[in-house]
């Protein structure tokens, strides 16, 4: 850990952090501050003053200037960040940006919106790499699997919310697709490790898939989540045709927005190799041992006093 008071002659390193108020960005921000960085944090909302942080109210891709930083990090949408990066002078600052393993699995989805997402993620990675080469900067793209742990995800936390409301959730009997849920703290650790990679300014673009430390099937994963609740909620296992009718009815009623492609993936294995991340980043993700607190949304931040607005 850096000690910013250790030398009055050496200023602390400076980082620009996009998506600082998101589920991963919050944890990355905390680690940067603990490591002695001065952070300019981007968020669409206003935030109270915080030691070591200069909040900049902005939304990608119009995030303002990028000069004067030792590192630029993005925990927001990769396509929007890549547009800002390609159009904004940042010098040779190291870049660490979060993408998604969806770039691997949704390119041939029957859902055109999912295919478009995979296309945009691939284009964003290529755009970052090209801009980095032109600047002689190093880029690391981190691709998480199914993220949990901060109560802000749109997967397991949404399942918990449905279970609390209706007493349980239903799955088809063959929802056995393999998953590797990854905790936000492991992702934040990987981001800080990526900042320390050798070869800053070498113009290289590296990509790392970041799965969780345990592989289990979808039914096991959901059952383990429901068991954390008090009282535990039920997991109803339905025959395929019955589940399809129930899911369609629930969608019409506005109880969920999962389309046919999402439901089909319950049966698909989504497993990724973390060997490159273990080799380069010392990545060691934890096994899936959820608690109820991991799916509880954080408290709202206090409003800024009128004098600070």
Dihedral over Cα of 142, 99, 293, 36: its sign: positive
Confidence of residue 49 (pLDDT cuts 50, 70, 90): confident
305: confidence class by pLDDT, cuts 50, 70, 90: very low
Secondary structure of residue 72 in the 3-state scheme:
strand
Question: Can you give 149-201 as a three-state secondary structure string?
Answer: CCCCCCCHHHHHHHHHHHCEEEEECCCCCEECCEEHHHHHHHHHHHHCCCCCC
244: preceding bond cis by omega (within 30 degrees)? no
Omega before 231 within 30 of 0, i.e. cis: yes
pLDDT digits (tens, 9 = 90+) for 112-163: 999 999 999 999 999 999 999 999 999 999 999 999 999 999 999 999 999 9
* pLDDT band per the 50, 70, 90 thresholds, residue 91: very high
Mean confidence (pLDDT) of the chain: 89
Q: Could you report the per-residue pLDDT of 237-253, keeping only the tens digit for each?
A: 999 888 888 777 776 76
| pLDDT (tens digit per residue) in 181-238 | 999 999 999 999 999 987 645 566 899 999 999 999 999 999 999 999 999 999 999 9
User: What is the model's pLDDT at position 205?
Assistant: 80
Confidence of residue 289 (pLDDT cuts 50, 70, 90): very high
């Amino acid at each position: 850990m850096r000690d910013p008071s250790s030398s009055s002659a050496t200023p602390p390193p400076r980082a620009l952090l996009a998506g600082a108020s998101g589920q991963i960005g919050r944890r990355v921000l905390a680690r940067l501050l603990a490591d002695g960085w001065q952070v300019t944090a981007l968020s669409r909302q206003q935030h109270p003053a915080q030691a070591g942080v200069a909040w900049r109210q902005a939304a990608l891709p119009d995030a303002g200037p990028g000069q004067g930083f030792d590192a630029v990090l993005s925990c927001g949408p990769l396509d929007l960040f890549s547009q800002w990066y390609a159009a904004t002078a940042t010098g040779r600052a190291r870049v660490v940006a979060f993408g998604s393993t969806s770039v691997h699995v949704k390119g041939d989805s029957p859902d055109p919106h999912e295919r478009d997402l995979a296309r945009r993620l691939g284009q964003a990675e290529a755009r970052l790499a090209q801009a980095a080469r032109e600047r002689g900067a190093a880029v690391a793209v981190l691709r998480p699997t199914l993220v949990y742990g901060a109560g802000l995800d749109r997967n397991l936390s949404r399942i918990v919310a449905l279970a609390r409301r209706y007493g349980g959730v239903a799955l088809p009997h063959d929802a056995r697709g393999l998953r590797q849920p990854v905790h936000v703290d492991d992702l934040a650790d990987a981001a800080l490790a990526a900042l320390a990679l050798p070869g800053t300014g070498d113009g290289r673009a590296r990509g790392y898939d970041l799965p969780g430390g345990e592989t289990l099937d979808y039914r096991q994963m959901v059952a383990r989540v429901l068991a954390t609740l008090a009282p535990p909620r039920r997991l109803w296992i339905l025959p395929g045709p019955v589940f399809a009718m129930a899911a369609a009815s629930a969608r019409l009623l506005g109880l969920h927005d999962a389309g046919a492609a999402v439901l089909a993936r319950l049966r698909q294995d989504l497993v990724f190799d973390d060997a490159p991340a273990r080799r380069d980043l010392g990545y060691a993700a934890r096994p899936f041992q959820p608690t109820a607190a991991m799916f509880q949304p954080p408290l709202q931040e206090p409003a800024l006093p009128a004098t600070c607005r």
